């Protein structure tokens, strides 16, 4: 498994700052680019200069995120964003875009909603497929439509898209109550990236992104989860994604060091 940093963990800092600091650390395999930071970089920078900075710092781009599936609304914005992301991802030798789901109207049954979302996902996958890029659908904690991998797979299967998969975010899976047994049943070939983090000991319905912690500092059974992934021969990225303002106030090298050390301490035990 490869260690990666999602730029949400370093939100106040720029894309270039993140890349250079990760390169200096010499311990990270990749970076997961935050789309808004990418847009800001491209105001004055070019895709070619970004590609050169990434290469100079010996990093791979694990994914670009987030993008938003608007299955039950106007898909035109989603289509435009996916085209934009696919072109850039292709230039950066990145093969995954992360897609967050929307919520169906209350008058739709689950099978009806799956059919509509599957069609929308298929439309997105046709675009990314032209660039050799896969889409990772993200289950969200206590989401009314896609709270876990089972629901994500329902939509992926409905889409009939070979380049569609899903993501595991340990915070979202914990909040949704996804069990170790469910994780053991995950089709590993469809697991495109793992967001890894921990969280505070609070009632699950109270948890929000600001309650995330460095791996090993909270209540999520990360050792058990990583053990399952290892046994299933998952060899993709473990991307540390933490939205915590307390951490954001730290110097960038400190965030990077704490992220790596906390995750490595768990990996070394499995």
**Helix H or strand E segment including 240:** strand 237-240
pLDDT tens column, 48-97:
999 999 999 999 999 999 999 999 999 999 999 999 999 999 999 999 99
pLDDT in tens, 15-55: 999 999 999 999 999 999 999 999 999 999 999 999 999 99
Which residues are CB-neighbours of 16 under 8 A, at least 6 positions away?
Answer: 41, 45, 53
Cα separation, 221 vs 240, whole angstroms: 15
Torsion sign (Cα): 36, 37, 38, 42: positive
Whether cis (ω within 30° of 0) applies to the bond prior to 66 is yes
For residue 263, give the H/E element and its range.
helix 252-267
DSSP classification of residue 80: H
Burial degree of 16 (CB within 10 A; 0-12, 13-18, 19+)? middle
> What is the CATH architecture assignment of 2-267?
Alpha-Beta Barrel (3.20)
What is the model's pLDDT at position 79? 98
pLDDT of 208 reads: 97
Measured distance CA(35)–CA(78) in Å, rounded:
13
Q: What is the pTM assigned to this prediction?
A: 0.97
Tens digits of residue pLDDT in 125-184? 999 999 999 999 999 999 999 999 999 999 999 999 999 999 999 999 999 999 999 999
């Amino acid at each position: 498994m490869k260690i990666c940093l999602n730029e949400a963990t370093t939100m106040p800092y720029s894309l270039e700052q993140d890349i250079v600091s990760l390169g200096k650390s010499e311990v990270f395999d990749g970076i997961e680019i935050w789309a808004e930071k990418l847009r800001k970089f491209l105001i004055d920078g070019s895709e070619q200069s970004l590609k050169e900075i990434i290469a100079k710092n010996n990093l791979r781009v694990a994914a670009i995120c987030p993008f938003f599936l608007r299955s039950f609304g106007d898909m035109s914005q989603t289509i435009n964003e996916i085209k934009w992301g696919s072109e850039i991802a292709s230039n950066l030798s990145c093969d995954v875009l992360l897609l967050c789901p929307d919520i169906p109207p209350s008058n739709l049954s689950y099978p009806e909603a799956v059919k509509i979302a599957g069609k929308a996902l298929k439309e997105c996958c046709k675009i990314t497929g032209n660039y050799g890029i896969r889409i990772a659908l993200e289950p969200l904690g206590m989401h009314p439509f896609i709270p876990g991998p089972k629901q994500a797979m329902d939509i992926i299967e409905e889409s009939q898209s070979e380049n569609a998969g899903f993501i595991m975010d340990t915070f979202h899976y914990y909040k949704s109550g996804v069990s170790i047994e469910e994780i053991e049943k995950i089709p590993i070939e469809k697991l495109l990236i793992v967001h890894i983090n921990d969280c505070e000991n609070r009632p699950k319905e109270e948890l929000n992104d600001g309650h995330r912690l460095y791996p090993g500092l909270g209540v999520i059974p990360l050792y058990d989860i990583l053990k399952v992934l290892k046994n299933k021969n998952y060899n993709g990225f473990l991307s540390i994604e933490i939205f915590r303002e307390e951490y954001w106030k730290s110097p960038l090298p400190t965030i990077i060091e704490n992220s790596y050390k906390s995750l490595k301490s768990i990996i070394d035990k499995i």
